Amino acid sequence: MSSMENGTQSPTRRRLTRDDRLRQLLDVAWRIIREEGTEALTLGHLSERAGVTKPVVYDHFTTRPGLLTVLYHDFDDRQTVLMDKALAESQPTLRDRARVIASAYVQCVLLQGKEVSGISAALAGSPELEKVKRECETELIDKCRNILAPFAGATGITMAGLWGMFGAAEALSRAAAADDITAAQAEDEIQQTIVSMVQRTAGQ
């Protein structure tokens, strides 16, 4: 007897929107990297783990480099969301703004630290993907410069200072992710680095 004949209906699977499907695929991709390493992330393996056909995955990413690029942008977007939320809740002082930058950077790396390291290494292996990584880094530096501009001197913060800040934030966040130092220690050091840089620029 069919389900219609006995008065019951088989459950129907809700079709995901394109955006929801993309989010699902990205979440599964991050999980693959976390559990199996970046090398295991292929479009075919992603389709298997996500329970979808290969054409669905290829429709979203086309190539493995395309998938890696979207993943890096996903990480960058999360970092921006964390920072914007913290900025809205912080006081407009140099130390508070510096703390927001430090905390957002460290917490985002801790959230996806090992996974992002694998993505970064993969991006560095291709000039095109390295360009994407560089563009995201430049956008973050520009954002930080705008946040800190009200506290800097008339000449503004130098690019050398901003890249130095970024390098310190990157190294300290990775150290925290590797448990070489605590997250609090990383945030404190990044905050102090930022404050010192801005005060030096302002001649204070």
Residue 28 CB coordination number (10 Å): 20
Provide Rg for the chain, Cα atoms: 21
Residue ending a domain, choose from 62, 80, 99 = 62
Query: Between these two residues, 108 and 165, which has the higher pLDDT value?
Result: 165
Residue span of the structural domain in which 135 resides: 69-202
Same domain, 57 and 148: no
State the sign of the Cα–Cα–Cα–Cα dihedral 168, 170, 173, 175: negative
Residue for token digits 């199996």? 36
Residue 107 CB coordination number (10 Å): 19
Same domain, 164 and 92: yes
Query: Between these two residues, 153 and 158, which has the higher pLDDT value?
Result: 158
For residue 129, the number of C-alpha atoms closer than 13 Å in the C-beta half-sphere is 18
Phi and psi at 45, nearest 5°, equal: -65, -35
Same domain, 97 and 167: yes
Same domain, 83 and 136: yes
| pLDDT score at 8 | 45
| pLDDT score at 137 | 87
Instruction: Specify the 3-state DSSP secondary structure of 184.
Output: helix
* 151: CATH: 1.10.357.10
End-to-end CA distance of the chain: 84
Whether residue 13 is predicted with pLDDT greater than 80 in this model: the reply is no
Q: How many domains is the chain built from?
A: 2
- Determine which of 26-40, 51-65, 104-118 has the lowest per-residue pLDDT on average: 104-118
Whether residue 31 is predicted with pLDDT greater than 70 in this model: the reply is yes
Write down the pTM of the prediction.
0.74
DSSP-assigned letter for residue 181: S
115: closest CA among 78, 142, 84? Answer: 78
Q: Classify burial at 128, counting beta carbons within 10 Å of its beta carbon; exposed 0-12, middle 13-18, buried 19 or more.
A: exposed
* 25: CATH: 1.10.10.60
Same domain, 40 and 103: no
78: closest CA among 147, 30, 16? Answer: 30
Structure tokens at 52: 């979808």
Mean pLDDT score, 173-189: 94
| pLDDT score at 24 | 96
Whether residue 95 is predicted with pLDDT greater than 70 in this model: the reply is yes
Residue for token digits 């800190």? 148
Whether residue 97 is predicted with pLDDT greater than 90 in this model: the reply is yes
| pLDDT score at 15 | 79
Does residue 182 sit within a domain? yes
18-26 — which CB contacts under 8 Å span 24+ positions? Answer: 21/52, 21/56, 21/60, 22/60, 24/50, 25/50, 25/52, 25/57, 25/60, 25/61, 26/70, 26/71, 26/74
Find out whether 142 and 120 touch, Cβ atoms under 8 Å. no
